[in-house]
Amino acid sequence: MAGFIICGAQWGDEGKGKITDVLCEDFDYVARFQGGNNAGHTVVHGGRTLKLHLIPSGIMYPDIVPVIGNGVVIDPRVLLEEMDALEQQGVSCERLVISTNTHLIMPWHRDLDGANEHRLGANEIGTTRRGIGPAYQDKASRLGLRMQDLFDRSIFREKVATALEEKNDLLAKVYGLPTYTVDEIAEEYLAYGQRLKPHVAEISPLLNEALDQGKWVLFEGAQGTLLDIDHGTYPFVTRSNPTAGGACVGTGVGPTRIDRVLGIAKAYLTRVGSGPFPTELAGEMGARLIEAGHEYGTTTGRQRRAGWYDAPVVKYAVQVNGLTDLAITKLDVLSCAETIKVCVAYEHLGVRYTTVPGHQSAFHHAQPIYEELPGWKTDISGCRTFGELPQAARDYIGYLEELAGVPVSIIAVGPDREQTILRDWPRR
């Protein structure tokens, strides 16, 4: 094996960071391929907790090469702060490689993200307000600034001036917000460029040569399948493609180099921000899952919405990503439930759906159909093999496999790297 993709099979926060960290022991390179600092990935090992937003989750391993792919949007100030914070915790960022083609999040992107949400009012997307959407919008409009622009003063100033012609009008005339000058932006951003320059390189040749040499490359997704701009619950989505295809586009590696695509799914379900969520639990059980699972966003601190596991969502993720297998995380959290419900299908206007309906209205009004399984009501966070899990927990995993149509090869029973059951993961 050589090329391996990890992607979220639900609405994000599935524990991708933790699983990436577990698997990176075997890898030579780990590459983020989309998103930006809307992502929040928590990694726990040896009493240390890292909260990562832009840096790939394998950073704790001293020999791995962490890569930020061209599909990522970078707020350079946030990236430098994250690098400094890691260095202070004794985690070296020296080997970090950043694609020359990453697009930059500029101050007006952050302003416009917030202003747009404000304008939408009750219909807001619930974005992280980090400027992600507006930065990708400018990329698509061919008005974006890229990492490589930071290394040529006159090109950078020219491109900022062109962008500001439009942005200052928008900020001042549409939203009544302060504007920017080329001088202030150039001074700040060219200084970021000087600090980041030693890390910037062309990453497509780097990763392709690594794969040619038989090295192992792990592609780490952010967000999740149902937040994908093409395949998610539009318009309640992010602006990139967190699905497996995004790994190829976002790094310059062809699909023929990919050997395995692992989907990460929580043993229940959460979502941050607005949008449909058929299995959402508003009452006491939802509160119990939020408390037991510490369901507060790593990036914004917002309380996540919680609900039962939704098999049609994961089945859809299997299809859209071509998942070869699944990792089920946070199984330990379900120890708080006497009985566990699993949504096996939806019903809308007399039609039964076993995967995500194609029409938005059907999904918005989908009534979940549940199967109820016995809980295990015992602490499983110390289990390290599948056989050590109580029978009810093994049956639960078996049921999820049956519904998804792919095997569950990894199970997480706690946040720490050690709290992981590797069922089908040959260590290198």
The catalytic residues are 13, 41
Output the CA torsion 122→127→132→138 (10° steps).
Answer: -10
Binder to ligand GDP among 40, 193, 246, 263 (CB under 6 A)?
40
- Picked from Mg ion, ligand GDP, ligand IMO, none, the partner binding residue 101 (CB below 5 to 8 A depending on kind) is none
40 binds Mg ion (CB under 5 A): yes
Q: How far is the CB of 7 from ligand GDP (least distance, A)?
A: 10
Which of ligand GDP, ligand IMO, Mg ion, none does 317 bind, CB closer than 5 to 8 A by kind? none
Is residue 329 within 8 A of residue 377, CB to CB? The reply is no
Partnered with residue 253 across adjacent β-strands are none
Dihedral, 149, 243, 309, 259 alpha carbons, nearest 10? -120
Q: Is 149 an interacting residue with respect to ligand GDP (CB under 6 A)?
A: no
- Is residue 307 within 8 A of residue 359, CB to CB? The reply is no
**Could you say whether residue 15 binds Mg ion (CB under 5 A)?**
no
Residue 15 contact among ligand GDP, ligand IMO, Mg ion, none, beta carbon within 5 to 8 Å by kind: ligand GDP
Which of the stretches 12-20, 92-100, 343-351, 400-408 binds Mg ion when contact is defined by CB under 5 A? 12-20
The closest alpha carbon to 227, from 96, 127, 119, 122, belongs to 127
Specify the 3-state DSSP secondary structure of 411. strand
How many secondary structure helices (H) and strands (E) does the chain include? 12, 20
Of 54-62, 93-101, 126-134, 196-204: span binding ligand IMO (CB under 6 A): 126-134
Q: Which 191-220 residues touch ligand IMO, going by CB under 6 A? A: none
**Closest CB 158 distance from ligand IMO, rounded Å:** 28
Among 98, 147, 227, 269, binds ligand IMO (CB under 6 A): 227
141, 72 Cβ separation under 8 angstroms:
no
What is the C-alpha separation between 219 and 32, in angstroms, rounded?
6
Alpha carbon distance 271, 277 (integer Å): 8
Residue 113 beta carbon to Mg ion: minimum distance, rounded to whole angstroms: 18
Is there binding between residue 13 and Mg ion (CB under 5 A)? Answer: yes
What are the CA-CA distances from residue 155 to residues 77, 151, 407 (Å)?
20, 9, 51
Which residues contribute to the site for ligand GDP (CB under 6 A)? 8, 12-18, 40-42, 44, 298, 329-330, 332-333, 412-415
Which residues contribute to the site for ligand IMO (CB under 6 A)? 8, 12-13, 38-41, 125-128, 130, 132-133, 222-224, 227, 238-239, 272-273, 298
